[in-house]
Structure 1
Amino acid sequence: MSKKKVIIDCDPGIDDSLAIMLALKSPEIEVMAITIVCGNSPVSMGFSNAKKVLKFMNRLDIPIYIGEPSPIKKKYVNALDTHGEDGLGESFLPEVDGFENSMDAVSYMQEALKKEKCSVIALGPMTNLARLIERDIDAFLSIDELVSMGGSFKSHGNCSPVAEYNYWCDPDAAALVYKTVYDNHSLIHMVGLDVTRKIVLTPTLLEYMNRLNPEVGDFVKRITKFYFDFHWEWEHIIGCVINDPLAVAYYLDREVCSGFSSFVQIETLGISEGQSVVDSMNFYKKEANAKVLNEADCERFWTMFISRLTGTSPDKLDILKEII
């Protein structure tokens, strides 16, 4: 079976790290590189955290490229209040020296995407992708499939009443990407808060992972404890929402989420800054530029996520239905 080639564009970040782990445990894809963008953490911290995850996964052979350190126009606001002082749940894992690349993330994308068929799973703000459009639109249009963890249709925002963080952090970048996709009759797969909020890692699921594979379970515990505490303090959830792994799971298996095609525009100003405006009723009569996902098969996701990370056959996860 030929593997699909993927670039993971991310801002690690707790849930980005879990998404990277899932991607690396998935035989259907080959992760060509990890590109870092400012978002949950500054790019230097994101680079450091990506190395820590790759070291744990024994995959430091995968190159990491540092990308844009600030949004296109607005002042950068990180999410370390959510992800901890080190961006990785205040796990303070040992630093991994070296592995710097002289090429930046946008230059890497420009070169790689024009060389071979490759998809992009964007788990952070779209700043790198917007800069790629500005530099070389043909390279951007060479992306095979673009899956974005970002936006929201009917669910409330997580950094304003209406906006999801990735699009709010750099709304101008997201707006440019969606406009470019529309102008060129293409499609973004929008894995937004409507579906990611349904993916809650509970203490029971975490303990189940730990029983199946103590090494993996302990690593996930270390990087998610801060996330658990944050979600309890702010949302009174016993557990934590892990947004980004769902985008990877959806790329791997389109039955994990379902939705509808629609025209989507990203607001860049005012009280609605970063809002993904979904024309679900086709008011504008415009061609769809997004597949907006609004339903998730939680059992299907958790079966994939737990089985792959722990190395357990899916048919042996006999109690999973009872604990989701």
Structure 2
Amino acid sequence: MLKCLERCDRLDIPVYQGMEKPLKQPFISAQDTHGLDGLGETNFPRVLAKQAESLHAVDFLADYFKEKTDTSVIALGPLTNIASVLKINPTVGKHMDRFVSMGGTYKSYGNCSPVAEYNYWCDPEAASYVFEKLKQPIEMVGLDVTREIVLTPTILEYCCQMNPEEGEYLKAITRFYFDFHWKQERILGCVINDPLAVAYFIDESICEGFKSFTAVETQGISRGQTLVDRYEFWQKSANSKIMTKVDTRLFFQKFLTVLLNAQEETIMKDLERLKMG
């Protein structure tokens, strides 16, 4: 995280370290997907100008949401920290403005088992607890929509042409991820999950979905599976909104405008002309 903030010249943003392992399950990393350093084995120098805050992330969030009611959470990893916060401050969800989670899957297949997405599979007890206890609609940006967001070789080359410095950086951190997708799914490019969750949070028109009660399985071969009760078999109140459609062109229009520090109108025209996104 500090490496990314340094890259953006935003080391003024505080970073709080969270839980080191899942609530009950042994930790299994995603290093086969993103590399040991999480940035595709780029091994960029360690950040020396800034350290993480001394206060634990769970304690910070538990205290923060006792008072604040205008702040949202975008969870881009396993929900261990949020579940731990809920155990300390059970009312935390009522104090959030919105809660967006990149995780889960509805009709698409999993990415670490036939039925489970990694973030919920990594700590299914945490995901299950958050869906049950948060008392704030969980806006689930799962594999059904993120699989539509593929950073292709063409888009990557476009980035290099538009902004060589940022393009080459993007190429460096995604090379490992590109190779993984080719070996695993025969895809030329890579699925960029997290940026879609952030983009949707900023502009809700990027994704569409439906409200539903959702639970997460914690055991057996279906560990981490999101059970989405779209047809109300369980007759329970909706605790989530499940994203099922995504405007890929609009996403890349917004994403590339920010990434390349470009004019949105220019990006929009180029995407249309080059038939990208």
TM exceeding 0.5: yes
Residue by residue over 1:183-224, the C-alpha shift from the partner in whole angstroms, topping out at 9 and shown as x without a partner, is x3x311000000000000001101111111111111111100
Distance in 1 of aligned mates of 2:52 and 2:75: 21
Distance in 2 of aligned mates of 1:202 and 1:85: 23
What amino acid sits opposite 1:203 in the alignment? P
**Off by >6 Å, runs of 4+ in structure 1:** none
- Match for residue 275 of structure 1 among 225, 230, 236: 225
Distance in 2 of aligned mates of 1:118 and 1:88: 28
The percent of aligned pairs where both chains have the same amino acid is 49
1:280: how far off? 1.0
Q: Is the Cα–Cα contact under 8 Å of residues 209 and 243 in structure 2 kept in the other structure?
A: yes
Q: Is the Cα–Cα contact under 8 Å of residues 110 and 140 in structure 1 kept in the other structure?
A: no
SS at match of 2:91: helix
What are the residue-to-residue correspondences of 1:21-60 with 2, within 5 Å? 50-60=1-11
Q: Which residue of 2 aligns with 1:166?
A: 119
Q: Is the Cα–Cα contact under 8 Å of residues 140 and 240 in structure 2 kept in the other structure?
A: yes
> Which segment drifts farther, 312-321 or 150-159?
312-321
Q: Which runs of 5+ in 2 are unaligned?
A: none
Residue by residue over 1:210-264, the C-alpha shift from the partner in whole angstroms, topping out at 9 and shown as x without a partner, is 1111111111111000000100011000000000000000000111000100110
Q: Which residue of 2 aligns with 1:222?
A: 172
State TM-score, norm by structure 1.
Answer: 0.82
What are the residue-to-residue correspondences of 1:191-230 with 2, within 5 Å? 191-230=141-180
Q: Which runs of 5+ in 1 are unaligned?
A: 1-49
State TM-score, norm by structure 2.
Answer: 0.96
1:101: how far off? 1.3
1:70: how far off? 0.4
1:141: how far off? 2.9
Number of equivalenced pairs: 272
Distance in 2 of aligned mates of 1:262 and 1:86: 36
RMSD of aligned C-alpha atoms? Answer: 1.0
Q: Is the Cα–Cα contact under 8 Å of residues 82 and 227 in structure 1 kept in the other structure?
A: yes
> Which segment drifts farther, 97-106 or 159-168?
97-106
> Which segment drifts farther, 207-216 or 145-154?
207-216
Residue by residue over 1:42-81, the C-alpha shift from the partner in whole angstroms, topping out at 9 and shown as x without a partner, is xxxxxxxx11111110000000000000000011100101
What are the residue-to-residue correspondences of 1:85-96 with 2, within 5 Å? 85-96=36-47
1:268: how far off? 0.4
Q: Which residue of 2 aligns with 1:26?
A: none
What amino acid sits opposite 1:262 in the alignment? S
What are the residue-to-residue correspondences of 1:274-293 with 2, within 5 Å? 274-293=224-243
1:305: how far off? 0.3
Q: Is the Cα–Cα contact under 8 Å of residues 132 and 140 in structure 1 kept in the other structure?
A: no
Distance in 1 of aligned mates of 2:14 and 2:169: 22
